[in-house]
Amino acid sequence: MNRSEDLFHRAQRVIPGGVNSPVRAFQAVGGKPLFIQRGNGSRIWDVDGKEYIDYVGSWGPLIFGHRSPEVIEALNQVLAIGTSFGAPTEREVELAELITQLLPSVEKVRLVSSGTEATMSAIRLARGFTGRERIIKFDGCYHGHGDSLLVRAGSGVATLGLPDSPGVPSSLAELTSVLPFNDSNALKSEFDRRGSQIACVIIEPVAGNMGCVEPRPGYLELLRNLTKRSGSILIFDEVMTGFRVALGGAQQRYGVQPDLTTMGKVIGGGLPVGAYGGRAEIMDRIAPAGPIYQAGTLSGNPLAVSAGLATLKRLQKDSPYDRLEALGARLERGVIEAAGKAGIQVRVNRVGSMLTFFFTDREVTDFQSARTSDTKRFSRFFHAMIDQGIYLPSSQFEAVFISAAHTESDIDQTVSAATRALEI
């Protein structure tokens, strides 16, 4: 037994499923998870000493790779003065100012500790602000594990939500309408039917949690128009896309301004930070400015905030987006070429440094088409890549993340590995 297996064995005795978040368990691809010992730049090493090029990046946060120097320096500065006070500190104000500067739709922002907390709080705020209870989400979009959001569609166009998990009250899930992503007609008919009951629409403006799926041209604009007309709040869940697909997130990339934005991942630079923000008129309804309650003992934690602040400042200074685009395009091209040579159907969906290889001949525009992917082939591909020292997300329905620490030679090495992996 190697050390990873040994640790997993121990972990399973004291942690449900041996992991603290389900996707880490490799269940979708089979096999046992690797325990990671350390990381540096684009690389990670497992506890058995094997090196990998990392395309998970902690599931999105590490846009400058592991142990990026500005984050380490910022953390060291905070360690010298104390880790938590439960009282306001200067860096929180600085981070909030920087967020409002980078995202013009965000006039005021509240910091929390995870993406889940951000989306749960934004939904409560939208309901409290509008006095309405119904929300709309999209099939295959993930917004954390809050009760109202842990719901997906069955078949059919607009289905009333059924909970995805035992423990989610059906009375709550019923208030969530689930629509197919990218389907304008489904959206229009739901708004025709009960627009006046809809508190908010929450969407990943580029979906990342059914694999990477870009919005069709005009789709986000339609969403903006329908929500405006019916007095519903439009929430862009930019936990994954924020500061990644552009400095100003998907809202900058596609030129559509939501009422509220949820953030996480990159905003914490590898530490636990989430945030939600938007129009001041709405945000001022949150306690203590207003009556809608939301709080957190470690919200705005100095260590977490300093890592996020250092990351956002470096993004602003270095603007790595052209480079991320070029690296993404290089990986996309390489894998398409390799698949062509091996005679395997692959669709690569990519937005900048987020991408997914789908093993299907169909265009992937929503969760239904994503599910046409040959997940058995994906599993073989995943394990063949791991064997060759390439660490990909352990599910077909996740996005590969490239960081600014990746090099062209990392990408070329990955493409060579993919060429072999596709022959298996």
Ligand X SMILES: *Cc1c(COP(=O)(O)O)cnc(C)c1O
Contacting residue, 44, 98, 203, 240, with ligand X by CB under 6 A: 240
CB 364 to ligand X: min, Å: 17
The minimum distance between CB 194 and ligand X, in angstroms, equals 25
Is residue 265 annotated as part of the catalytic site, yes or no?
A: yes
Distance (Å, rounded) from C-alpha 334 to C-alpha 415?
6
Which candidate in 46, 52, 55, 142 is catalytic?
142
Please spell the DSSP secondary structure of 154-210, one letter per residue.
Answer: -SSSSEEPEESSTTS-HHHHTTEEEE-TT-HHHHHHHHHHHGGGEEEEEE-SSB-BT
Pick 263 or 315: Cβ nearer ligand X: 263
| Nearer residue to ligand X within complex by CB, 65 or 144 | 144
Contact between 237 and ligand X per CB under 6 A: yes
* Cα torsion 264, 267, 269, 274: sign: negative
Binders of ligand X among residues 204 to 223 (CB under 6 A) are: 204, 208-209
CB 369 within 8 A of CB 360: yes
Where in 267-306 is the site for ligand X (CB under 6 A)? 274
Structure tokens that stand for 167 in this block: 């423990």
C-alpha 120/C-alpha 262 separation (Å) is 10
Element (H, E) at 355: strand 354-358
Task: Tell me if residue 192 is catalytic.
Answer: no
Q: How far is the CB of 417 from ligand X (least distance, A)?
A: 26
Among 4, 119, 177, 394, binds ligand X (CB under 6 A): 119
* Position with the least CB separation from ligand X: 115
Instruction: Kindly indicate which of the ranges 23-31, 141-149, 243-251, 321-329 contains the residues binding ligand X, using the contact rule CB under 6 A.
Output: 141-149
CB of 378 to ligand X, least distance (A): 19
- C-beta of residue 316 within 8 angstroms of C-beta of residue 396: no
Tokens of 275: 């945030």
CB of 117 to ligand X, least distance (A): 7
Burial of 155 (0-12, 13-18, 19+ CB in 10 A): exposed
Task: State the sign of the Cα–Cα–Cα–Cα dihedral 236, 240, 243, 247.
Answer: negative
Among 142, 236, 254, 357, binds ligand X (CB under 6 A): 142
User: Is 254 labeled as catalytic in the residue annotation?
Assistant: no
Catalytic positions? 142, 237, 265
Which residues bind to ligand X, rule: CB under 6 A? 114-116, 119, 142-144, 204, 208-209, 237, 239-240, 264, 274
